[in-house]
Structure 1
Amino acid sequence: MSAVAAIVIFAVAFFFIATEKIHRVAVVLTAAGLMALLRLVPGNDVFFSEHAGIDWNVIFLLLGMMIIVGIVKRTGLFEFLAIWAAKKSGGRPYRLMVMLMFITAVASPFLDNVTTIMLVAPVTLLVCDKLGVSAVPYLIAEALASNIGGAATLIGDPPNIIIASRAGLTFNDFLVHMAPVVTVAFIVFVVMCRWLFRRSFEYHPERVAEVLALDEREAITDVRLLARCLAVLGLVIAAFSLHTVVHLEPAIVALLGAGAMVLVTRSTPEQFLPEVEWSTLVFFMGLFIMVGGLVETGVVGAVGHWAVGAVGDDYFAAASSLLFGSAVLGAFLDNIPYVATTAPIVEDIVAESGNPAAMQPLWWAFALGADFGGNGTAVAASANVVVLGVAARAGHPIGFWQFTRYGIVTTVVTTVVAWAYVWLRYFA
């Protein structure tokens, strides 16, 4: 009965999130409260469980980066970059989109997709404002690109860290096995964007002429403040990139960076706290508890065991099942708790085979499905939720289905590309 109750609560909540009849924060808080009230998620697990409660690593990573971005914004750096990007693209919408997606996809594997979005989104909003075009398609494209690009490395997407820990995989393992297919998938996605967003591209010659006449250097309002911010931001980015060396969680790096940024710039709480998107943080907390209810009641585990057990000893079928199953489930559940729950199942299958090395393709299929499935809906990955929060705060709200209709197509195409890659590389 507890599993049925968890499924009903999750399904009803997802319906209201998708239809946007009630604000999404109110929906997840109500659903999370019901999960806790009915003890579908034990009280202690809500706050302390790594797999079934609130993922504080994500919450504090976001909090730290929001503070950092809020302080950097005061220097005029984002406006500088916006004018520069507009000039380099000549104001041409598709060229501008490809430029912003490329920056996002290249940065995501070495930072993480949430951090990259936090840094690129403010630039996108400013450049689109100066060119007189809607920022929505560009923000959606960047979120999708970040989820694709982040799959390339161990630190680029949170699920990869969980998989690497369970499977004993290294940073170089991810580069060798994931980077090739991610590169192909991103190229395919860039071509797709020309068709996906064709009705959204706008070009206003008079606005472009105005922007081209601007001097981006004049956008910098405080050179000394900028120098201090860039020094701290550089250290934060270096710490993110050296995750496997320094062994600091991204959340700790972000919080240390935020603290250092506040100190060196002598910012006051009145200056940086209003920049924190509290509604986005609360939404994440509720969403983690909702998914935790499905984890605690065994729903996610049962689906995973059934899917993999149904294919028996056919390892290509098992890899295909993991790939497509993870893409589908990852599109409706946040992919972090999903991967945390399913990884032990994959580990058992690999161990029981008696030949872990030969079964390694199952891990890559699992990772690709979970990472690419993160594009499936507006709430499937952290980067998607962050983009929705940033857009709403800037006065450019993105609806659930407005994002999801692009995300579903992207997930289907990139998952098929990944499936072909797994077959050609490991089984053909």
Structure 2
Amino acid sequence: MNGVGAVVAIVIFSVAFFLIATERVHRVAVVLGAAGLMVALRLVPGDDIFYSEHAGIDWGVIFLLLGMMIVVGVIKQTGVFEFLGIWAGKKSQGKPYRLLVLLMVITAVASPFLDNVTTVMLVVPVTISVCQKLDLPTAPYLIAEVLASNIGGAATLIGDPPNIIIGARAGLSFNDFIVHMTPIVVVLFVLFVLMARVMFRKAFVHKPERVEAVMRLNGRDAIKNKGLLARCLAVLTLMMVGFALHHALHLEPSVIALLGAGLMVLVSGVKASDYLAEVEWTTLVFFMGLFVMVGGLVETGVIDRLGGWAVDAVGDNYFLAATALIFGSAVLGAFFDNIPYVATMAPVVEELVAQAPDKDTGQALWWAFALGADLGGNGTAVAASANVVVLGIAAQHGQPISFWQFTKYGIITTLVTVVVAWGYVWLRYF
């Protein structure tokens, strides 16, 4: 590890994170400034920010987000989000907690199959629409949804981006994730539904006059173009099949998202200005800068040294190793964004697994790593892609959510779910 370079990288990252957390400077300006310093001081080689797999911009994440933002932008023109908002309002009878649970269930059930980023992009516009109709505060519902999405997405190989990285590195299949991750995810989601009743209780304000107005609405009237909706849903279905089979097709999810976006644009005939207006350019730029910031910690050896300390500390106590992985990943993943964190730490975990006495113990370490990283994604507002995307969409719709407004709920959720997940790892594997 380059001593001086590592210290400088840590200082730059820490100051940037402080500025993001305090919101004294716009987060995009912060990450661009920090990324620029990392490159200018040669903590990250200039070419690496564009081409390095571990220390540069993860273009797979960027283009997955871009493709799905375009898809959402086209689908929005059909009026289906307004339709779903009216449906949700009627189904819940306008009762705030019932509505929250309904939206959380939809999000958590869809996330394991669509991936949590795609799911929140589709559900958030519906949520904003129904909250406006019922005159409910939007932020608590959006926060609850993204927390539910990160929990639900942990259930499968394709549900959360870190799982894709772990699955590829460890040779774990879709069925492996179903068998080992889905049971505890179901338990954690039920627990979170109960927690939400307490955490968001101040948002549950029932307004009968607004409910009556929503109950009188006809959802079908919200659909502007049934033919366009049918074509969009057909393309979306093809995309979902592609996401589910991307390993067999030998296509990255980002490629499927771009192909789907291109096909949807072609069959819809929607103007470029209409669907591009829905692209969260600030969110994409934020991720680019964040990846470079983390790249500075990778290139200077900070992350590698943390991993080395972990290997030395656990020795041959593999339950201690699993404990360190689940809690350490939850903490570090909450601060570094869990995608670059998992990509960086996966080789360290692989080294730990290689020393395990048997295959089952080795796999237990991978599951502890996955649970810690996935659930740690709820820790702060910048801990997971879905969090950043939701905050960006909320701001674009005039419903901004601050860093600490999100994080105060995220920390509680992460703490409770990680402790329960740790108990699961102990009971099932040790």
State the TM-score bracket (shorter-chain normalisation).
over 0.9
Q: Which amino acid in structure 2 is aligned with residue 197 of structure 1?
A: F
Query: 1: distance between equivalents of 2:170 and 2:65?
Result: 27
What residue is the counterpart of 1:71 in the other structure?
A: 74
Query: 1: distance between equivalents of 2:257 and 2:356?
Result: 40
**Counterpart secondary structure, 2:201:** coil
What residue is the counterpart of 2:275 in the other structure?
A: 272
What residue is the counterpart of 1:14 in the other structure?
A: 17
CA contact (8 A) 2:318 2:356 kept: no
CA offset digits 1:106-160 (Å, max 9, x no partner): 1111111000000000000100011011111111011111110111111111111
Q: Which amino acid in structure 1 is aligned with residue 32 of structure 2?
A: L
Compute the RMSD of aligned alpha carbons: 0.9
1:233 alignment partner, one of 214, 233, 236: 236
CA contact (8 A) 2:318 2:361 kept: no
CA contact (8 A) 1:307 1:325 kept: no
Unaligned runs of 5+ in 2: none
What residue is the counterpart of 2:127 in the other structure?
A: 124
Does the alignment pair 1:35 with 2:42? no
Query: 1: distance between equivalents of 2:369 and 2:385?
Result: 18
CA contact (8 A) 2:112 2:155 kept: yes
Query: 2: distance between equivalents of 1:264 and 1:372?
Result: 38
**Counterpart secondary structure, 1:377:** coil
CA contact (8 A) 1:327 1:370 kept: yes
**Counterpart secondary structure, 2:267:** helix
TM-score (norm 2): 0.98
Residue 352 (structure 1) shift = 2.6
What residue is the counterpart of 2:159 in the other structure?
A: 156
Q: Which runs of 4+ in 1 moved over 6 A?
A: none
CA contact (8 A) 2:87 2:219 kept: yes
**Counterpart secondary structure, 1:140:** helix
Does the alignment pair 1:99 with 2:102? yes
CA offset digits 1:347-395 (Å, max 9, x no partner): 1121133533432111100100000000000000000000100000000
Alignment of 1:79-228 (within 5 A): 79-228=82-231
CA offset digits 1:207-253 (Å, max 9, x no partner): 00000011101111111111111111111112112223222211111
**Counterpart secondary structure, 1:375:** coil
Query: 1: distance between equivalents of 2:327 and 2:133?
Result: 41
CA contact (8 A) 2:381 2:387 kept: yes
Query: 2: distance between equivalents of 1:21 and 1:325?
Result: 28
2:376 alignment partner, one of 373, 376, 379: 373
CA contact (8 A) 1:110 1:241 kept: yes
Q: Which amino acid in structure 2 is aligned with residue 140 of structure 1?
A: I
What residue is the counterpart of 2:404 in the other structure?
A: 401
CA contact (8 A) 1:378 1:404 kept: yes
Does the alignment pair 1:318 with 2:321? yes
Residue 14 (structure 1) shift = 0.4
**Counterpart secondary structure, 1:214:** coil
Give % identity. Answer: 70
CA contact (8 A) 1:319 1:365 kept: yes
Q: Which amino acid in structure 2 is aligned with residue 120 of structure 1?
A: V
What residue is the counterpart of 1:299 in the other structure?
A: 302
Residue 199 (structure 1) shift = 1.2
1:413 alignment partner, one of 391, 412, 416: 416
What residue is the counterpart of 2:343 in the other structure?
A: 340
Q: Which amino acid in structure 1 is aligned with residue 213 of structure 2?
A: E
CA offset digits 1:299-350 (Å, max 9, x no partner): 1121122123212111101100111000000010111111111111111121
Query: 2: distance between equivalents of 1:63 and 1:309?
Result: 41
What residue is the counterpart of 1:259 in the other structure?
A: 262
**Counterpart secondary structure, 2:158:** coil
Query: 2: distance between equivalents of 1:374 and 1:66?
Result: 21
Query: 1: distance between equivalents of 2:119 and 2:162?
Result: 16
Residue 267 (structure 1) shift = 2.0
CA contact (8 A) 2:361 2:429 kept: no
Query: 2: distance between equivalents of 1:388 and 1:353?
Result: 41
Query: 1: distance between equivalents of 2:56 and 2:210?
Result: 48
What residue is the counterpart of 2:429 in the other structure?
A: 426
Residue 205 (structure 1) shift = 0.6
